[in-house]
Amino acid sequence: MPEKPTVEVPVVKPTRIEVSSDPRGDATVHFETVGNADILLVLSMTALVALEAMLAKASQEQAKHQPVQ
């Protein structure tokens, strides 16, 4: 399978997250960007759980290198 192209978009900040009350529903995350358009990610619950786990792991790794002041 050929590798998919990657699009890099500088994000200024996340502005909104909405999670469906239905456990099989989607979650949406809205990001403000430096460009002409913002980003709206639509994530399945499976993808959201995976993202949460990745962010938690990244936070733990970052804490090892940047002690709390």
- H/E stretch holding 32 reads strand 26-33
13-60 residue pLDDT tens: 999 999 888 878 899 999 999 989 999 999 999 999 999 999 999 999
- H/E stretch holding 62 reads helix 45-65
Q: 51 and 43 in contact (C-beta within 8 Å)? A: yes
List the one residue out of 21, 49, 46, 16 whose CA is nearest residue 31.
Answer: 16
Whole-model pTM: value is 0.72
Rounded alpha-carbon distances, angstroms, from residue 27 to 47, 49, 57: 9, 10, 21
